[in-house]
A and B are shown apart, each in its own frame.
Chain A
Amino acid sequence: MSRISKEEVKHVANLARLAITEEEATTFTKQLDDIITYAEQLNELDTTGIEPTTHVLDLKNVMRKDEPKKWISQEDALQNAPDKQDGQFKVPSVLE
């Protein structure tokens, strides 16, 4: 049984904000299915009660004073922008 259907692949691509063609959807379905099927070997292991590792180091929150610092200017921030206007990033309309 396949782990992921073509419809699911299209749904995931949409969640990931990736436009994919019909042909790509077919290829990705096969490849993702292979990878997920392989990864299901993890189910051989009983992990009841095992703490998940998010980070290997024992991290604690470190606080610093909330002070304004000089970082980059508005002009600098815009220097690599594909499109800009009046000191702001310009994008196509958000509403359809």
Chain B
Amino acid sequence: MSLFDYTLRELQEKLHNKEISVTDLVEESYKRIEEVDEEVQAFLTLNKEAAKKQAVELDQERGNADANLFGLPIGVKDNIVTKGLRTTAGSQFLSNFEDPLYDATVVNKLNEAKAVTIGKLNMDEFAMGSSNENSSYVAARNPWNTDYVPGGSSGGSAAAVAAGEVPYSLGSDTGGSIRQPAAYCGVVGLKPTYGRVSRFGLIAFASSLDQIGPITRNVEDNAFLLETISGHDQMDSTSADVDVPKYTDSLTGDVQGMKIAVPKEYLAEGVSPEVKEAVQAALTQYEKMGATWEEVSLPHSKYALSTYYLLSSSEASSNLARFDGVRYGKRAEDAETMLDMFMRSRAEGFGNEVKRRIMLGTFALSSGYYDAYYKKAQQVRTLIKNDFEKVFEDYDVIIGPTTPTPAFKVGDKVDDPMTMYANDILTIPVNLAGVPGISIPCGFSGDGLPIGLQIIGKHFDEATVYRAAHAFEQKTDYHKQRPSLGGARS
């Protein structure tokens, strides 16, 4: 058994009782990374020296260890800037970005809570991808079977937790980038309500959709981590000034009378029989616990993918204009003019998927096409958002699968952008509506790959999402299964 099979609270208790030290935890993390990361490739950069030093310091002040995440080792997705620690966003453009000037607000919060940052986690370049194969360094692999993808874009964040390299991590989710890899890797991942967590210091992909969120081995840890990273931030004008409840208080195990909506579009064609069965079994479990469910319709679901790719690519084309080779990052050599330098630095620094999306976005925003594509997509976004609001007038949560299928094989979809995009069909609408959604383990396929259950809530009602997720977790043991990678120690 690994130390990371304990919950964060159990680890804190062990620290408090001096059964273990912070150094033990940090050593456990690096030892496991040494054992398995050559196969999993979850980490892009390790923070070894600083983390070990911090562990020694924390061990000396253990008497007054009341900080929220005192001594608990965490991995951070590599699009979240960390002062003095290389931050690449999975891109060659930032391969030399060794020394960021400041910490993201979430990193400040981790530091205040005295968490120990173990390293930076692999991802699709600038968070554009669903398989980690767009990482410009190396593709992370699924710990359950390394022939399969871990999902993306937060593939490293989910794989590191599933492989027991860290007990918890941060990811980011623009169209499913926390929930989809959490589903593929059999861990718990939440995309908070838009505005719940500050985006300051998150390298922007699509600013109206991006959210940072927690990836953990169980629901309680997830709620605990969200409490720590949430809240209004002066540095992010889109962060909401809404009180942060104590999410762990909502984990009562009681879903008696909870009203669940199941969108028929989420169990339609394209969803594999194994996934449907697992979701059906979960609904039966909710009935047993006293909840009720009914089929509903989110009629504009089929338009979500188009809407998302037009809007997110448009926003990306604008956000990624900052990578110009002037102030940081890659610069092409021997450029004769400024324009030549811009064009070649970007051509050399960006991978194909990033270029494709920048071009799609530039096209959708260009003169003569703006109304037909960009504005049209914004209008359809309103219809999608209204679908959710209507259902939430009568129901507490929406439940369905996180992804249409379990993880696919490395290399299977890499040549066809449209097939790759279709993985995100059930997670994208949640970002467009700005509501919170979680993925929790709800079964395994015949091939032994995890299946994820998605629970979606009202704006700023993560508490109900967590309550529903936790109640299900109490009655099942999917979240306790461990991959046999590198000789599992469970």
Contact = CB atoms under 8 A, between A and B. Distances in A.
Interface string A66-94: 00000010001101111100000101111
A83 B102 CA distance: 21
Contacts of B373: 36, 39
A92 B303 contact: no
A40 to B, nearest CB: 8
B99 interface: yes
B379 A38 contact: no
B324 interface: yes
Interface in A18-42: 18-20, 24, 28, 31-32, 34-36, 38-39, 41-42
A47 interface: yes
Contact of B359 (A13, A45, A64, A81): A13
Nearest to B340: A92
Contacts of B97: 80
Interface residues of A, number: 51
A50 B382 contact: yes
A81 B417 contact: no
**Chain A contact residues, majority secondary structure:** loop
Contact of B338 (A8, A59, A72, A92): A92
Contact of B309 (A15, A35, A92): A35
Interface residues of B, number: 70
Interface in B84-136: 96-102
Contacts of B434: 56-57
B375 interface: yes
A54 B363 contact: no
A28 B355 contact: yes
A1 interface: no
A16 B376 contact: no
Contacts of B306: 38-39, 41-42
A19 B341 contact: no
B338 A18 contact: no
Nearest to B308: A39
A45 B337 CA distance: 46
Given A34-B417, A34-B418, A54-B378, A15 B366 contact: yes
B32 to A, nearest CB: 32
A39 B238 CA distance: 28
Interface of B: 96-102, 194-195, 208, 234, 237-238, 240, 300, 302-303, 305-307, 309-310, 317, 321, 324-331, 335-344, 346-347, 350, 355-356, 358-360, 362-363, 366, 373, 375-383, 385, 417-418, 432-434, 459
Which A-B residue pairs are the 5 nearest by beta carbons? Answer: A56-B434, A52-B378, A80-B328, A82-B331, A47-B379
